[in-house]
Amino acid sequence: MNARLFAQALLWTALGTILPAQADSLGICAAVADDLQRLACYDRLATGAAAPSTVEASIVETTTVGPEEPASGPVHLVNEELLLGQRLAEETTLTSNAWVITPHQRNYLLPATYNDNLNRAAWAALEPDDPMQHIEAKFQISLKTIAWTDILGAGSNLWVAYTQRNWWQLYNDSSPFRETNYQPEVFLTFANDWRFWGFTNTVVGTGFRHESNGKGGDLSRSWNRAMVMAAFERRRMALNVRAWYRLPESSGDDDNPDIERYMGYGDITGIWKWQQHEFAVKLRNNLRSENRGALELEWTFPINRRFKGYIQYFNGYGESLIDYNQNNSRIGFGVSMTDLL
C-alpha cells in the first residue's frame, strides 16, 4: 500500500470513529426544547469545550425533574429546577461571544388589544383630526448584552440593555403610533446561592434606568431611576422583587413631578412554568393612603418551535408614560418570541 492510500485509510478510520459520537451528541442537542439551552449545547460541541459524554450529562442534568439536592456550589448551575438561574448562566455564556445579544424582558407582538378607558386629551393633542380607537396593536422589543464579565469578581457582570414598548393605532385611518416608551439601562448582577425556606436567591443586582417617550412640549414624559433587585426560585417558580428611587429633577425640567404617586417605588413579579406554559403576575402599588397600583397577568402557551401564543391583561395606572396617571384596563392577544424563564 502506498503512502497516499495508507493516509486515506487512516482518515476514514478516524471519521468512522468520530462521526457517530458527534451525531449522537447533535441528536441530544436537537432534542432540547428550550432555545437558549439548545444553542448553548451546540456551542459547546462547536468549540470542543466538552466531550460528548459531558454534553449528554449536562443536558440530562438540566432537563430531568427530581427532588431538590443539597447545594454544593452556585445552585443555578447544578439544580435543574431553578429555571431562571439556568437561563442567566446560559445568557452569560452566550454573550461572552462577540456580537451576541440576548433577550432581556419579554419580546412580543399583540396585533389586537382592547383598552376600556381612552386618554382622549393626550390623543387630541397628538392627532386632533383623527378619532382614537379602543382597539390598537402593542409590541415590545427588549435586548441585552454583557459589557464586562467578572467586573467585581467571579459571577459579577455588568450588563447594558434596551427595551422599547409601542402602542400603535393600527386600525385608525392614518395608523399612527400613539405612544412609544424608550428604556435604556445599565445594571450590575451578582450570582448567588443563598437558600432559605426552600427558596434560592439566584441573583441580586443594582442599576440605573432611564425611561422617556421621546415627545416634546405638554406630551413629554420621562424619569430616571436607581434600582435594586433580587430573584428567588423554588422548583419551577420564580419571584422577582425590585425597588427603585427616582432621581430628582429641577422643577422646570420635570414633565411628571407626581409620577411616584401612581408608579410607586417598586414591584413584584411571580412566574410559574408548567410544562410548556408560562404564567406571570406583576403587582405594583404606591403604598399611600390614596391607594393606586397596577396588576398585569401574562400567559404564554406553545404554538410552534419559534413562537408562543401570548395573552396579556393589564389593570391600573402606568401602563405607558403618557397614561401614567390614568386608570385603564387592557387585554391583548398575540405571540411571544421569548419567555421569562
Angle of CA points 144, 149, 154, to nearest 5°: 130
User: Using an 8 Å Cβ cutoff, are 210 and 184 in contact?
Assistant: yes
By the 10 Å C-beta count (0-12 exposed, 13-18 middle, 19+ buried), 184 is classed as: middle
For residue 158, give the nearest of 125, 180, 186 by alpha carbon. Answer: 186
Active-site annotation holder among 58, 156, 210, 220: 210
| Contact between residue 265 and residue 241 where contact means Cβ atoms under 8 Å apart | no
What is the Cα–Cα distance from 83 to 21, expressed in whole angstroms? 29
The H-or-E segment that residue 61 falls in is helix 52-63
Q: Is 7 helix (H, G, I), strand (E, B) or coil?
A: helix
Residue 134 known to be catalytic: no
The DSSP output letter for 247 is P
Please say whether the beta carbons of 160 and 45 come within 8 A.
Answer: no
Active site (annotated) includes residue 210: yes
Query: What does the block give as the cell for 231?
Result: 430573584
C-alpha gyration radius of the chain: 24
The residue from 72, 96, 174, 212 that is catalytic is 212
φ/ψ of residue 276, rounded to 5? -100, 15
Catalytic residue annotation: 210, 212
